């Protein structure tokens, strides 16, 4: 709505007896119930997307009504503390307080009843989307022109502020703030401490898992193993690294959006930027196609075949986020496959032939790491007295078998390495292949140590991150690299 379209109501003198009306999305909570309910719906049952598609022609109100039945845990939503303080202050002074939201009535009612602070609520139903001018008309009909104070958040609230007695805004965007001040020079602003650009960059870097990009160095392995140390090969591998990193970030965002509720119930993941409301959900949604498009653009600069690998990787990671991570053992096999796809992608990028030996070794090795990850997650829940995870198909009683499978997979990787070193293939690439037999004991030591540290509760919840930060692991990796180079 343009500024000229907003009719300004006559301002009343400050009246502490007027009811206080509070918006929900972005105001009372640092989140958006429409986005939350959408991802809760598709995360719980991906086939529900088809049911949702059938109600789209009915408009936004029909979509919100359909999603109103989402099983959201409103008790764990990221509530704005300063807004709760304002509500408590109003209640203590005898004022009536109402919740008014464009979200579906069923969800709004659940939030209102959970908090127990409101005298009533206004919300969207199947016939009407209570947003913007429609919300303003509804509140004026209930309280009269200028007969209420309004606490809102964004540009959709401008028509409501225009017809309220006093306007209060929570973290408005700069453009919204300017328009509000033109409309109501006496407007009040809450939660404006904000964050600097450097802190916002750090938040987004964590959200995009930039620290996880080191996993994508696996794309350099095929060139290293094929002894391709030329400039074109390095450039192709570097572009592959960038493409996998951008693609992985897009899927991390999708995964975080789907796992909002599970993350909020997790002892450490509840501090993630989407779960605690530091980054708007719609901003994360908008970043997903941008990151994927950038990944495809970079991959096409390598080759169309490599772009196909990136698309396959995205599809598999999306399937993992939506369905496969909730399937016992299928989840860890998929994780191992995703790491192996990085190796395959590196081979496609540099035009190297990836050997069956390398694929088999990678699959067993990453299967072991995926199982160690699950073992660490289960022991963390056990130690905190928490029940078995609801969003994973594992029980706490599975811990012994998960540990056994992790050990078996890791040791099988070493067996595959030994079989490769016993084959004729090794003599075609290495002039001193006997040196490579020293690699086996190093990997055996590392796998065994990782298992022991996991058992002692000293393992990071992501073994790959642990390996990149652990001094012993880095020494082991450097030793393996030196042995391979010496054997050439």
Nearest to residue 334, comparing CAs of 342, 325, 347? 325
Print the domain residue range for 468: 197-487
Residue 398: which residues within 8 A CB-CB, separation 6 or more? 378
243 belongs to a structural domain: yes
> Can you read off the two tokens belonging to residue 157?
């609230």
6 belongs to a structural domain: no
Q: Is 192 exposed, middle or buried (0-12, 13-18, 19+ CB in 10 A)?
A: exposed
Highest-confidence range of 56-70, 226-240, 261-275, 398-412, by mean pLDDT?
398-412
Q: 265 and 179 in one domain? A: no
Q: Is 123 helix (H, G, I), strand (E, B) or coil?
A: strand
Q: Give 446's Cβ-side CA count (13 Å radius).
A: 27
Sign of the dihedral defined by the CA atoms of residues 288, 291, 297, 300, in that order: negative
> Can you read off the two tokens belonging to residue 451?
């298992």
Q: 176 and 224 in one domain? A: no
pLDDT (tens digit per residue) in 390-438:
778 889 999 999 999 999 999 999 999 999 898 887 888 888 889 999 9
5 belongs to a structural domain: no
User: What stretches of 303-438 show up as alpha helix (H) in DSSP?
Assistant: 304-322, 330-350, 356-383, 399-421
Q: 201 and 94 in one domain? A: no
**Has residue 475 got a pLDDT over 70?**
yes
CATH number at residue 147: 3.40.50.1000
| Domain's final residue, options 174, 190, 206 | 190
CB 430 within 8 A of CB 436: yes
10 belongs to a structural domain: no
7 belongs to a structural domain: no
* Start-to-end C-alpha separation, the chain: 69
| Domain's final residue, options 190, 216, 245 | 190
Output the CA–CA distances (angstroms, integers) from residue 273 to 203, 283, 287, 461, in the order listed. 7, 12, 14, 18
Nearest to residue 29, comparing CAs of 112, 137, 132? 112
Q: 203 and 186 in one domain? A: no
pLDDT (tens digit per residue) in 186-237:
999 987 666 678 888 999 999 999 988 988 999 999 998 888 888 899 999 9
Q: 128 and 81 in one domain? A: yes
| Domain's final residue, options 160, 190, 220 | 190
Q: 235 and 179 in one domain? A: no
Q: What is the predicted pLDDT for the residue at 326?
A: 87
**Has residue 78 got a pLDDT over 70?**
yes
57 belongs to a structural domain: yes
Give the pLDDT mean for 155-184.
93
CB 269 within 8 A of CB 256: no
| Secondary structure (DSSP) of 281-298 | HHHHHHHHHHHHHHHHHH
Q: 125 and 227 in one domain? A: no
Q: 322 and 256 in one domain? A: yes
CATH number at residue 453: 1.10.357.140
């Amino acid at each position: 709505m343009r500024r000229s379209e907003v009719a300004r109501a006559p301002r009343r003198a400050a009246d502490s007896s007027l009811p206080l009306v509070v918006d929900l999305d972005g105001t009372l909570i640092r989140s958006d119930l429409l986005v939350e309910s959408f991802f809760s719906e598709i995360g719980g049952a991906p086939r529900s997307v088809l049911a949702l598609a059938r109600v789209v022609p009915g408009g936004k109100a029909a979509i919100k009504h359909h999603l109103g039945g989402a099983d959201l845990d409103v008790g764990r939503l990221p509530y704005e503390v300063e807004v709760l303080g304002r509500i408590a202050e109003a209640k203590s002074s005898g004022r009536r307080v109402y919740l008014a939201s464009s979200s579906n009535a069923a969800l709004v009612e659940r939030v209102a009843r959970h908090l127990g602070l409101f005298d009533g609520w206004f919300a969207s139903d199947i016939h009407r989307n209570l947003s913007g001018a429609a919300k303003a008309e509804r509140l004026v009909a209930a309280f009269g022109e200028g007969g209420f104070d309004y606490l809102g958040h964004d540009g959709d609230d401008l028509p409501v502020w225009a017809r309220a007695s006093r306007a209060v805004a929570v973290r408005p965007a700069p453009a919204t703030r300017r328009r509000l001040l033109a409309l109501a020079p006496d407007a009040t602003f809450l939660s404006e401490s904000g964050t600097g650009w450097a802190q916002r960059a750090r938040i987004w870097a964590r959200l995009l898992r930039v620290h996880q990009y080191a996993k994508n160095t696996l794309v350099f392995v095929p060139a290293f193993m094929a002894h391709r140390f030329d400039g074109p090969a390095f450039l192709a591998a570097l572009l592959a690294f960038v493409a996998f990193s951008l693609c992985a970030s897009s899927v991390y965002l999708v995964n975080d959006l789907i796992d909002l509720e599970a993350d909020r119930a997790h002892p450490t993941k509840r501090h993630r930027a989407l779960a605690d409301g530091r980054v708007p959900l719609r901003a994360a949604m908008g970043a997903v196609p941008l990151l994927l498009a950038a990944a495809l653009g970079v991959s096409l600069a390598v080759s169309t075949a490599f772009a196909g690998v990136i698309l396959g990787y995205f599809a598999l990671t999306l399937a993992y986020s939506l369905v496969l991570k909730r399937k016992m053992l299928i989840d860890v096999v998929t994780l191992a496959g995703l790491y192996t796809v990085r190796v395959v992608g590196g081979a496609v990028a540099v035009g190297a032939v990836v050997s069956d030996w390398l694929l088999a070794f990678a699959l067993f090795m990453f299967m072991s790491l995926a199982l160690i990850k699950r073992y660490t997650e289960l022991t963390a829940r056990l130690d905190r007295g928490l029940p078995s995870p609801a969003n994973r198909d594992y029980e706490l009683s599975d811990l012994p078998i998960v540990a056994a499978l992790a050990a078996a997979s890791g040791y099988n990787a070493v067996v595959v390495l030994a079989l490769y070193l016993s084959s004729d293939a090794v003599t075609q690439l290495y002039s001193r292949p006997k040196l490579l037999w020293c690699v086996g004991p190093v990997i055996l030591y590392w796998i065994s140590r990782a298992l022991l540290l996991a058992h002692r509760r000293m393992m990071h919840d992501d073994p790959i991150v642990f390996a990149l930060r652990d001094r012993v692991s880095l020494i082991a990796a450097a030793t393996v690299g030196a042995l391979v180079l010496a054997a050439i």
